[in-house]
Structure 1
Amino acid sequence: MIYPQNFEQKIGFDQIRQLLKEKCLSTLGEERVTDMVFSDRFNEVEERLDQVTEFVRILQEEDNFPAQYFFDVRPSLKRIRVEGMYLDEQELFDLRRSLETIRDIVRFLQKSENEEEEETTSPYPCLKRLAGDITVFPQLIGKINGILSPYGKIKDNASAELARIRRELASTMGSISRSLNSILRNAQSEGVVDKDVTPTMRDGRLVIPVAPALKRKIKGIVHDESASGKTVFIEPAEVVEANNRIRELEGDERREIIRILMEFSNLLRPSIPDVLLSYEFLAEIDFIRAKALFSEQITGLKPAFENKQVIDWTMAVHPLLQLSLAKHGKKVIPLDIELDEKQRILIISGPNAGGKSVCLKTVGLLQYMLQCGLLIPMHERSHAGIFSNIFIDIGDEQSIEDDLSTYSSHLTNMKIMMKNCNERSLILIDEFGGGTEPQIGGAIAEAVLKRFNQKQTFGVITTHYQNLKHFAEDHDGVVNGAMLYDRHLMQALFQLQIGNPGSSFAVEIARKIGLPEDVISDASEIVGSEYINADKYLQDIVRDKRYWEGKRQTIRQREKHMEETIARYQTEIEELQKSRKEILQKAKEEAEQLMQEANARIENTIRAIKEAQAEKEKTRQIRQELNDFRESLDTLTAKEQEEKIARKIEKLKEKQNRKKEKKANKNQENTLSAQALAEQQAKKEAERLAAIVPGSYVKIKGQTSVGEVLEINGKKAIVAFGSIKTTVKLDRLERTNAQPKQADVSTKSTYISSQTQDSMYEKKLNFKQDIDVRGMRGDEALQAVTYFIDDAILVGMSRVRILHGTGTGILRTLIRQYLQTVPGVSHFADEHIQFGGAGITVVDLS
């Protein structure tokens, strides 16, 4: 239940609807936006939110989602349910393109992340479920393709009869044109008509323009005259019958086209209910797409959504306020609010114009948006629940017709809320108890608040009444909140702080406005010092809380910085330990090699003993020497390992220090060398320019022709190249000792400079042999391909590839029609099926 009836208008949701409609592609989606309703079914709301979340991912990650042709042909389909009615050419064209869009969307959503895997791995499972039972009608699309050309016109071969009629029509038109041209040439030779006159069309008949004074020189029928009366249009008698035949053939053509369209409409009629269901799917996709675009605009997301009554929002933002302030380069101050089973009702107090009502509307609008299936702007760690009823009482509801005062309307709203609210309800009340005498108004408001609390209702209530603030302090389930106010700067901070009541800052605001001090003193005496002191203590508490809150934030930031520092040191220690392990491993390998050498020595010794057949005492002595050697080796190895590790670690540190010093020295050297180089270059350039004086022989950089400097004007010089004088910038000239040759005068004036050659070489290196025009409109694609082919011919490419996709085939046809007109194109064809097939055109350049 949503109360009152103008609930959406009060919280601003009607503006949200309008913004969504502007993002729809057709009336299909706009109708869905109009029909969008609040839902309290958890699974339904979650499914809607997941659909929008998945579509946001599509907008951000995919660039080939089919969203070209969203046409609403439902009125046409409903019209041809009646026997004898048919779709015209434009309606048939829209039907084909929209059916192709439905087919492409279903294919897109049913694709899996890896085509070889099972279908269950779809990246968009919710949208895939939406497309699960949708029929795509490939037979209908094929039938329409047999009737319409890619541009939406009836094909010549749509039927044999139509082909015959159009052949005869073309033949008759050709014969008329030849006859007219013959008559026109004779008339021109006789001076009856001007030389530049050509046959024209009037009322569907080919005629000759003639001056009125000479109209009797040509036998025929006068069909029309120009607006100025200086030209009449005559149909020669020789072509009257042929023109009549054209009229008959055109009538036959229209009747045959209607017969073809009627035949198709009869074929389509039994499938109309299923086709309409497919358009309902298209409408839903348009609706979801609009919601996703709006979510991107307001940075909306799906918070942790729970099937219970909870509001635990961090950095929540009012979307309309956000969009409004963004136009002026400002930002919204976000709202942090928490309502749960322990603190269900929040009593917000604070100064006027401090943001209480904005806070109230933000809660109402975001919760309503969420349960309408829209993503909402807040931090991702936020938690949101679901409510069955939302009630709001905000603004002045006076009504002359219903004989209601402001207070009466508020009481009427309270009555309805108390009657219908429960533990699954959310109530939003602005200026609770206002509109009547303060004492009785506050008492009634407290009594109503007590009933709300007993029913365990959730709510946000704004008020100035002290008794309601005391009620919140003394009763479980109700909590105070304050809109913060800077007492020193005398301005609202628009921040909500839960836990303490807020002050109205009435005295401070009165002083800021400039109310006389004696008036303020009288008011303070009337209300009593206890009230003034209590309000002052409350302000001090809020101030202290803000101070300690700031301290806590600072401590948190420092703790975060400390954690980052510890994490960095731990990483360095881990790297050091890893290096130590590597050094130990290498030392062990070296020790193992040393042991193998020692074993080899032992084996050699044993072999020597056997060969010498030594005595037992001698053998024992040799074995003892070997044992001593092994023990000393083990001791040496252990010491060497430790020493090596220490040396390796020391070398690593020295190496790191050397790198840092080297980098610093290199940066310094680079800076110095760059400065020196710049000074040297500047000095050389100055010397070079100083050497160019009248009478000097010079040449333009990159050219070979030598000229003589005649005059210098500032940064420009007048140079004579043979008999030609020209003005050239000094920085383009360089002095030469060569004399101008006589041949220089007769040399060709056209040449390719080295600068141009370098430019062409660089262009050829950077030229890409592929161009992608998928998704472009026809004129954009043709322009891009024209520049691409021109550049390819210019840099001397032999083969290029144009990626236009398959789609409806319009881009492919347009591009190939253009390629036929390019002299430099020797051949073009489809790419090999393995590399893209008909979606790519390969062009060979001569």
Structure 2
Amino acid sequence: MIYPENFEQKIEFFKIRQLLEQHCLSPLGKEKVEEMQFSSVFEEIDVQLSQTDEFVHILQEEDSFPSDNFYDVRPVLHRIRVAGSWIDQNALSELLKSMLTITSIVTFFKNDEEKAERYPHLMLLAKEVFVSSEISKKAERIIDEFGQIRDHASPQLSNIRREITSTLNSISRSLNSILRKAQAEGFVDKDITPSMRDGRLVIPVNPAFKRKIKGIVHDESASGKTVYIEPSEVVEANNRIRELESDERREIIRILTEFTDYLRPFLPDLLQSYEFLAQIDFIRAKAKFALQLNALKPNFENRLIIDWVQAVHPLLFLSLKKQNRKVVPLDITLEEDSRILVISGPNAGGKSVCLKTVGLLQYMVQCGLLVPLRENSQVGLFSDIFIDIGDEQSIENDLSTYSSHLQNMKFFVKNCSKHSLLLIDEFGSGTEPQIGAALAESLLDRFNQKNAFGVITTHYQNLKHFANENEGVINGAMLYDRHEMQPLFQLSIGNPGSSFAVEIARKIGLPDDVIAQASEIVGSDYINMDKYLQDISRDRRYWERKREEVRRERNRLNEISEKYESEMEEINRKKKEILAEAKQQAERLIAESNAKIESTIRQIKEAQADKEKTKRVRQSLTEFRENITTSSDTLQEVKPIRKKVKQKPVTQPQNTNLKTPIVTGDTVRMKGQTVTGEILEIQGKKAIVAFGVIKSTVDLEKLEKVNGNQRVKENKSSNTRDLLHDRKLSFKQDIDVRGMRGDEALQAVMYFIDDAIQLSISRVRILHGTGTGALRQIIREYLKTVAGVAHFQDEHVQFGGAGITVIDLD
């Protein structure tokens, strides 16, 4: 149920219909736009939303979907139900083209498993559509692609048209002969050619020579300077043409009547096919409109809920888009424990737009239209939507604006239920404020008792208190920049808003004494309450900024983490490649070593205790071992190669322990320690090592090399400490807020104290000056609320006294 009757005008839905009609291809779709209406049947709405969503994907991804020849021939099909009637030539052409379009659409969806998965709802819509290739073939034999009856539509028509052509050629020859003769005698100008008048071929002649050519004068030009004569020689032939044309018309009618008689039994099925074409045109228009709005199919649920993220008023979006401006999106949640939202805030702050956005988008969804909001939004289902907005003053019914509002409230109280959504603008306004506010509170209580959902805008303080104290009702505020004195058009749920009446009055130049007197009249409680609301608004904006900073920092850290993981994967990959290569190199070295040792043993045996020759062989083995050590820097260790030799005169080498020496530039650490450093210089058996910024001289035997991966892990663990250390070194323990406005100073102090606590600074100072003492008071009121502040006091009188506050932090 929708109330009142002009509901669509109040939320401007009639403009949505107009925009939809612009995307329709034919009257078929436009008719469906007119028939579109609000529904409360979940399954029906869900199917409509799914169909439109699938068509959005077709428009984005498919090139072969037909979009031509969406003709509406239903009026003709209804007309030819009567026996003896026939379809006219133009209608037959449109019938043929549109039937071919219907066939193409049905073929698009049939026998394609992939499309069945992607477009299930549209495929179901096309499943039982009537298409007949036989009807199309019969029509194509009658009419061509230009909408003309074919010569061979029947043998009789073919003969008639052949005789017409022959006769016309004969007439043309006769006329040309007569025309040449008349031109030779000077009766007719040289550039004159035969013309057609009333279906008869004639010669244009100057009136002075009209008696020189025998024949019938058929017409005269408007200027009277030309007459059109049909020569006697061609009169009979022209008469024959007339007879043949009549025969042609009768034969065409006979052909069309015969085709219509054949078509008549299929009319019910054809009408259903055009109903399908109308549905496709309508769904296509909805999909085109959705793309225009960046709209999507929401998470539609069969329950009472509104949980929208970045919802946008469609018409406002389109209007601002033309101006290269962006609309401020709306985040709003209405659910069981907070069903009715009471929005307060300054005039022209966006309260009414917020209310209209809720009404328009919910109505659009329940009309089967996609809506502009984020994918993670949840949209529920309501049985009724009631709206009270605008001036309903009526001279005829002698109703004032307030009386009209009360009539609506009477209807709402009587008919609303837990399935209803109420949208009420400027609740209780239009009469004396005290009684208006009281009645509004009473009505709000009734709506809450009935568990109705709703969005209500107001300026009344008592309604803000009611929302704060009663379960099911929640406050909301349209945010306002009190320094720039302009609305932000952002909805904040949880706290009431201030009307900023005093600030706005002061901005427009109302005298201060008038403002002061007004403040005295309403009393300090009201003024303090309004200031309290402004403070809440300010604090909320501050924490919102903080939250946004945290979010950005979290995103940055996530990016860094992803990059680090990616780089680690690349390092591990390269590590595996290096180890594999090193393994191959080690195996090659071992093989070469074994071969060299065996060769040495063989040569020693062959030397038979020749000391000089044995010495040379051993020297060769020593050089070979040194070469291996030099060429294997990438290896950490090569297993010792042992081979027993039974030869008494020679001492056999027991192993070739190949260990990479420490050189300048290597990363090392003290044996048994975790801190790494870099070799700066080697001096004999000692090395100069840089551990961070500290240089130390260490015995080489106390050091061991560290590979790159270990260094990365150790450096990473120290990055955070280094960052905090750098910030702590650059942190200034004094902040000067003199000359700032109260809110600017407070915001600066908030950031300053937050940083000091995070960096574990024990004492800080705030320079605020003495002046009126207001700035000092604001800052100290804030310090009382900060958990990390242990104590604060005036600075010593010699160093600034009451103009400086010294804070000790936990």
Q: TM-score range by the shorter chain?
A: 0.7 to 0.9
Look up the match of 1:470. 465
Q: Does 1:36 align with 2:36?
A: yes
CA distance in 2, matches of 1:64, 1:470: 60
Q: Does 1:324 align with 2:348?
A: no
Q: Does 1:433 align with 2:428?
A: yes
Task: Find the residue that maps to 2:290 and give its secondary structure.
Answer: helix
In the TM superposition, residue 589 of structure 1 has moved relative to its aligned partner by 2.8
Change in Cα spacing, 1:459 to 1:629, as seen in structure 2 (3 Å) is farther
Look up the match of 1:7. 7
Q: Does 1:243 align with 2:238?
A: yes
In the TM superposition, residue 405 of structure 1 has moved relative to its aligned partner by 2.5
Task: Find the residue that maps to 1:621 and give its secondary structure.
Answer: coil
Q: Does 1:408 align with 2:398?
A: no
Residue 518 of structure 1 is aligned with which of 467, 492, 513? 513
CA distance in 2, matches of 1:122, 1:145: 35
Q: Does 1:529 align with 2:524?
A: yes
CA distance in 2, matches of 1:624, 1:140: 113
CA distance in 2, matches of 1:245, 1:576: 97
Look up the match of 1:65. 65
In the TM superposition, residue 605 of structure 1 has moved relative to its aligned partner by 11
Instruction: Describe how 1:449-598 pairs up with structure 2 within 5 A.
Output: 449-594=444-589
CA distance in 1, matches of 2:147, 2:661: 89
Task: Find the residue that maps to 1:153 and give its secondary structure.
Answer: coil
CA distance in 2, matches of 1:135, 1:638: 88
- For normalisation by structure 1, the TM-score amounts to 0.71
Q: Does 1:274 align with 2:298?
A: no
1:605-639 residue CA offsets vs partner (Å, 9 max, x unmatched): 99999x9xxxxxxx9636999xx989647x66999
CA distance in 1, matches of 2:335, 2:646: 88
Specify the code of the residue in structure 2 equivalent to 1:83.
A
CA distance in 2, matches of 1:413, 1:435: 14
CA distance in 2, matches of 1:624, 1:348: 106
Specify the code of the residue in structure 1 equivalent to 2:423.
L
**Contact 2:476–2:495 (CA under 8 A) maintained in structure 1:** yes
**Contact 2:116–2:123 (CA under 8 A) maintained in structure 1:** no
Look up the match of 1:621. 645
Size of the aligned set, in residue pairs, is 640
1:677-719 residue CA offsets vs partner (Å, 9 max, x unmatched): xxxxxxxxxxxxxxxxxxxxxxxxxxxxxxxxxxxxxxxxxxx
CA distance in 1, matches of 2:280, 2:438: 52
Specify the code of the residue in structure 1 equivalent to 2:191.
D
Task: Find the residue that maps to 2:83 and give its secondary structure.
Answer: coil
**Contact 1:221–1:236 (CA under 8 A) maintained in structure 2:** yes
- For normalisation by structure 2, the TM-score amounts to 0.74
**Contact 2:429–2:436 (CA under 8 A) maintained in structure 1:** yes
Look up the match of 1:51. 51
Q: Does 1:132 align with 2:127?
A: yes
Look up the match of 1:108. 108
Change in Cα spacing, 1:623 to 1:169, as seen in structure 2 (3 Å) is farther
Instruction: Describe how 1:612-691 pairs up with structure 2 within 5 A.
Output: 621=645, 632=656
CA distance in 2, matches of 1:298, 1:631: 80
**Contact 2:478–2:490 (CA under 8 A) maintained in structure 1:** yes
CA distance in 2, matches of 1:317, 1:335: 6
In the TM superposition, residue 39 of structure 1 has moved relative to its aligned partner by 1.3
CA distance in 2, matches of 1:178, 1:403: 85
**Contact 1:110–1:122 (CA under 8 A) maintained in structure 2:** no
1:582-617 residue CA offsets vs partner (Å, 9 max, x unmatched): 1112222333445566787899999999x9xxxxxx
Specify the code of the residue in structure 1 equivalent to 2:56.
V
Look up the match of 1:206. 201
Residue 309 of structure 2 is aligned with which of 314, 318, 337? 314
In the TM superposition, residue 247 of structure 1 has moved relative to its aligned partner by 0.7
CA distance in 2, matches of 1:547, 1:593: 68
Q: Does 1:222 align with 2:246?
A: no
**Contact 1:110–1:119 (CA under 8 A) maintained in structure 2:** no
Instruction: Describe how 1:362-381 pairs up with structure 2 within 5 A.
Output: 362-381=357-376
Change in Cα spacing, 1:600 to 1:47, as seen in structure 2 (3 Å) is farther
The answer to which of 271-280 and 312-321 deviates more is 312-321
CA distance in 2, matches of 1:210, 1:11: 70
In the TM superposition, residue 352 of structure 1 has moved relative to its aligned partner by 1.2
- Structure 1 segments unaligned to the other structure (5+ residues): 113-117, 612-618, 654-846
In the TM superposition, residue 108 of structure 1 has moved relative to its aligned partner by 1.7
Look up the match of 2:695. none
Look up the match of 1:355. 350
Specify the code of the residue in structure 1 equivalent to 2:84.
G
CA distance in 2, matches of 1:91, 1:146: 15
**Contact 1:583–1:648 (CA under 8 A) maintained in structure 2:** no
Q: Does 1:174 align with 2:151?
A: no
CA RMSD of aligned residues (A): 3.2
CA distance in 1, matches of 2:191, 2:220: 18
CA distance in 1, matches of 2:562, 2:592: 45
CA distance in 1, matches of 2:509, 2:493: 31
**Contact 1:350–1:502 (CA under 8 A) maintained in structure 2:** yes
CA distance in 2, matches of 1:429, 1:81: 52
In the TM superposition, residue 449 of structure 1 has moved relative to its aligned partner by 1.4
CA distance in 2, matches of 1:129, 1:136: 15
CA distance in 2, matches of 1:622, 1:347: 103
Specify the code of the residue in structure 2 equivalent to 1:464.
H
Look up the match of 1:735. none
Task: Find the residue that maps to 2:187 and give its secondary structure.
Answer: coil
**Contact 1:111–1:119 (CA under 8 A) maintained in structure 2:** no
CA distance in 2, matches of 1:120, 1:208: 65
CA distance in 2, matches of 1:96, 1:631: 97
CA distance in 2, matches of 1:508, 1:589: 81
Change in Cα spacing, 1:608 to 1:245, as seen in structure 2 (3 Å) is farther
Look up the match of 1:741. none
The answer to which of 200-209 and 322-331 deviates more is 322-331
Specify the code of the residue in structure 1 equivalent to 2:138.
K
CA distance in 2, matches of 1:177, 1:376: 67
1:497-516 residue CA offsets vs partner (Å, 9 max, x unmatched): 11111111111222223222
Change in Cα spacing, 1:120 to 1:561, as seen in structure 2 (3 Å) is closer
Specify the code of the residue in structure 2 equivalent to 1:399.
S
CA distance in 2, matches of 1:315, 1:493: 15
Specify the code of the residue in structure 2 equivalent to 1:588.
K
CA distance in 2, matches of 1:412, 1:607: 120
In the TM superposition, residue 170 of structure 1 has moved relative to its aligned partner by 0.6
Q: Percent identity?
A: 64
In the TM superposition, residue 235 of structure 1 has moved relative to its aligned partner by 1.5
CA distance in 1, matches of 2:36, 2:598: 93
Specify the code of the residue in structure 2 equivalent to 1:346.
L
Look up the match of 2:289. 294
Change in Cα spacing, 1:120 to 1:57, as seen in structure 2 (3 Å) is closer
Look up the match of 2:21. 21
CA distance in 2, matches of 1:415, 1:623: 121
Instruction: Describe how 1:801-820 pairs up with structure 2 within 5 A.
Output: none
**Contact 2:601–2:645 (CA under 8 A) maintained in structure 1:** no
Specify the code of the residue in structure 2 equivalent to 1:589.
Q
Q: Which has the larger radius of gyration?
A: 2
1:72-91 residue CA offsets vs partner (Å, 9 max, x unmatched): 10001100001111111111
CA distance in 2, matches of 1:429, 1:644: 73
Change in Cα spacing, 1:196 to 1:542, as seen in structure 2 (3 Å) is closer
Look up the match of 2:74. 74
Change in Cα spacing, 1:649 to 1:623, as seen in structure 2 (3 Å) is farther
CA distance in 1, matches of 2:425, 2:47: 33
**Contact 1:199–1:209 (CA under 8 A) maintained in structure 2:** yes
Task: Find the residue that maps to 2:645 and give its secondary structure.
Answer: helix
Specify the code of the residue in structure 1 equivalent to 2:242.
R
Change in Cα spacing, 1:218 to 1:574, as seen in structure 2 (3 Å) is same
